[in-house]
Chains A and B, each alone.
Chain A
């Protein structure tokens, strides 16, 4: 669990990113702010195109050429990453902030020995000899669970399975003991048993290195497994953010309700899973108000007219919906969410009883 008193490693403030396209200006990320605490795992959740990847790419400084950071700052170790020169950013990228990519089948250079690809990452940020880099690379491969690391150093990517390749990608990310690890859907391209192994590996590594992790995913099952805190994104905004338990058991935004309802649980008896009606809005001149309002059966008139601010639910839990305004009419969330709430209350009291 993240503790409030922990140091803040990364502070994203009012980040706004636009893409220039032929169709017009796409507002991919709209004024999002969040903090990343030391040693915690923050999950960024949301459907495709909600801006979660763009957010992370802004942090890495790896935005596409037609992207433009219109506003905001990303504070890391006292400096604004968005203002750094290319050269200074290269030092941070792969050194202090590293990234794990989605598809392990394509994220390794097919023509280069895997060991060399790991060693290369070491040598880019540390003044070490080739031999030392190789030693370190073998250690890393061993750490991520590649058997016979010394022998496999000379193998090429096509000689590994998807899961093993993802382990190698993780080894590359860990090369320089990063402070922040950004994982962009690292398990999406893997089959389920592999997913579990990779998630375990990531948790293990986080425990050992104390790195903070930003975990991008659209898989709520994965989130429940790894996250300390969860930020739910919709149409370029963070619409709800809080401790994992708070978001899972006491969600406040109707979009989060919808997401949770569309996730199968052991209690789901119905054959049919809930699906949120409609599609997300296009982000070329998005509508005013809560972008989710048109798909939201609980939407208030205010949600359609004015951007809701993030209302505080608890000191760690915020949601952007006018439903939380004291002037809003009382409205009951759907039944399954109420069920979650009661479960949560039970768990909380059990926990305090255990203490």
Chain B
């Protein structure tokens, strides 16, 4: 895990050095001596390799440097302010989206090739193909403008302001898991052990939820992990539309302005989250699928 992060940090560092331009937004009007002074202040006058080593050392000490963009705020403060809303939105979206998606997928699989199946598939395809900003604006006009139930944007009403952006974000995991679960379920429902459950005299609904779902979930977990991370790390579009002070917006801004340290920190943060989520996925696997459980005691004859 640490090695992965180290490699990612290094690659990003050298890539960033190759970025054109400087972090100073009024470079044209700076004199040679001013530039030199600034470079000295931020340590850009030192050779690349030395900066690299320095940077790594300071990361290990938990110091991510200072932002070049926002009046020299430490990057860590900047990010911690921005992470909260993004993570909250992402988690809410993933949880809600997956629950609904899995449910729809199961329904679709149980009614294979009949009306409900076609309906669910249609929903999934629409969900995947309609862009986020369209959904966002539709939801805003329906719930905020017409019905006046929820705030149209901003991040000042706690949970209430998170509902619409979460809903918007949840469309993609919903569609994805619906499609995924349907495919898996169709296969699982035609397997021998489902046939045995039928022969036991179980009803189709009980079969689907007590034998089918657990087996169909296993592959979904694999795609769910990365999906969670990508949602938690924020979406530029959705955060902009709903005026949410999230990290997606921040990330884009810092890239545009060559804010080296912020870019580095965000990249490392995202990678760390991905690594952790993949680790969690493995644990989840063990919970759901007994075959991958690490056996403490060995029994059985296989």
Contacts and interface: CB of A to CB of B under 8 A. Distances in A.
Interface of A: 60, 62, 90-95, 98-99, 101, 103, 106-112, 120-121, 124-125, 155-156, 158-161, 164, 169, 172-173, 175
B211 A109 contact: yes
Contact of A101 (B192, B288, B301): B192
Interface residues of B, number: 25
B193 A109 contact: yes
25 contacts: A62-B199, A93-B201, A94-B200, A99-B196, A99-B199, A101-B192, A101-B195, A106-B192, A106-B193, A107-B195, A108-B193, A108-B196, A109-B211, A110-B193, A110-B290, A111-B218, A111-B289, A112-B211, A120-B202, A121-B200, A121-B201, A124-B201, A156-B291, A160-B300, A169-B196
A125 B196 CA distance: 15
Nearest to B214: A111
B258 to A, nearest CB: 51
B191 interface: yes
Interface string B279-302: 000000000111100000001111
A158 B196 contact: no
Contacts of B199: 60, 62, 93-94, 98-99, 101, 173
A111 B288 contact: yes
Contacts of A112: 211, 214
Nearest to A160: B300
A95 B201 contact: yes
B31 interface: no
Given A111-B289, A160-B301, A125 B195 contact: no
A110 B201 contact: no
B290 A158 contact: yes
Contact of A93 (B200, B211, B288): B200
Decide if the interface of chain B is mainly helix, strand, loop or mixed. helix
B214 A120 contact: no
A159 B295 CA distance: 11
A155 B299 contact: yes
B91 interface: no
A11 B55 CA distance: 84
Given A109-B211, A110-B289, A156-B290, A161 B198 contact: no
Contacts of B299: 155, 159
Contacts of B195: 62, 101, 107
B80 interface: no
Nearest to B298: A159
Given A111-B215, A125-B201, A158-B302, A172 B196 contact: yes
A91 B291 contact: no
A94 B195 CA distance: 12
A158 B300 CA distance: 8
Contact of A120 (B192, B200, B288, B300): B200
A110 B210 CA distance: 12
Given A62-B198, A124-B201, A158 B291 contact: yes
Contacts of A160: 300-302
B115 to A, nearest CB: 15
Interface string B184-216: 000000011101111111110000001100110
A156 B218 CA distance: 16
A158 B211 CA distance: 16
B301 A161 contact: yes
Nearest to B194: A109
Contact of B193 (A107, A155, A156, A159): A107
Contacts of B210: 120
A183 to B, nearest CB: 12
A164 B300 CA distance: 10
Contacts of B198: 62, 93
Contacts of B200: 93-94, 120-121, 124, 172, 175
A107 to B, nearest CB: 4
Nearest to A102: B192
5 shortest A-B CB distances, which residue pairs?
Answer: A159-B300, A94-B201, A94-B200, A106-B192, A156-B290
A90 B200 CA distance: 8
A351 to B, nearest CB: 39
B91 to A, nearest CB: 26
B196 A107 contact: yes
Contacts of A173: 199
Contacts of B218: 111
Given A101-B195, A158-B291, A109 B215 contact: yes
A95 B202 CA distance: 11
Interface string B124-168: 000000000000000000000000000000000000000000000
A76 B191 CA distance: 28
A91 B210 CA distance: 19
A161 B211 CA distance: 21
A172 B300 CA distance: 20
A192 to B, nearest CB: 18
Nearest to A110: B291
A73 to B, nearest CB: 21
A111 B290 contact: yes
Interface string B204-242: 000000110011001000000000000000000000000
B215 A164 contact: no
A108 B289 CA distance: 14
Given A98-B199, A111-B288, 14 more contacts: A90-B203, A93-B201, A101-B195, A101-B196, A107-B193, A109-B193, A109-B214, A111-B218, A111-B290, A120-B200, A124-B201, A159-B299, A160-B300, A173-B199
